[in-house]
Amino acid sequence: MSSLVLGKKVPDFRLPATGDQEIRLADLKGTHVVLYFYPKDSTPGCTLEGQDFRDQHAKFKRLNTVILGVSRDSLAAHAKFKDKQNFPFELLSDGEETLCRRFDVIKEKNMYGKKVLGIERSTFLIDAAGVLRAEWRKVKVPGHVDEVLAAVKALGKS
């Protein structure tokens, strides 16, 4: 269960990321962070969502905002996905589901009539001070990135 509350500080986290990096929330202090969780690299919905974030990336950057994608896929799968789609942002590998569980995005899903645990497409907006400002759960891809961008604009530049 999530221990995260809107309006409260998000505890620091550290995860391996594409570009042979380790990303830590504390290192991003002073910038807004869009953390989007998606089920699986190179699948139709996840590809569209990533492309939408890619296509709006410059607008987010002008608003002092970093975009980070998170799934349980390996760094190798992430690197391939990122390169193929020309994503200008990093993808975090959460194979042990540490961050997924902290944000409470692991949910029971129905896959071909079988119940499985997977990531429920969700996005979180963390402000420059590390405070959780918005969350979107059970995300439908069309129009979602525009909603997130509007929420970032509402925060203003810091």
| Helices 44-62 and 75-85, axial angle in degrees (round to 10) | 70
- How far apart CA 72 and CA 11 sit, in angstroms, is 20
Average pLDDT for the chain = 92
- How far apart CA 127 and CA 130 sit, in angstroms, is 5
Which SS3 state, helix, strand or coil, does residue 114 take?
strand
* CA angle 16–20–21, rounded 5-degree value: 50
Catalytic positions, written as ranges: 46
Beta strands in the chain (DSSP E): 14-17, 21-24, 32-37, 65-71, 90-93, 106-111, 114-119, 122-126, 132-136
| Per-residue pLDDT tens over the stretch 84-102 | 999 999 999 999 999 999 9
| Per-residue pLDDT tens over the stretch 65-85 | 999 999 999 999 999 999 999
Q: What is the pLDDT of residue 156?
A: 72
Q: Which domains does the chain have, with CATH numbers?
A: 14-155 (3.40.30.10)
| Per-residue pLDDT tens over the stretch 99-116 | 999 999 988 877 678 887
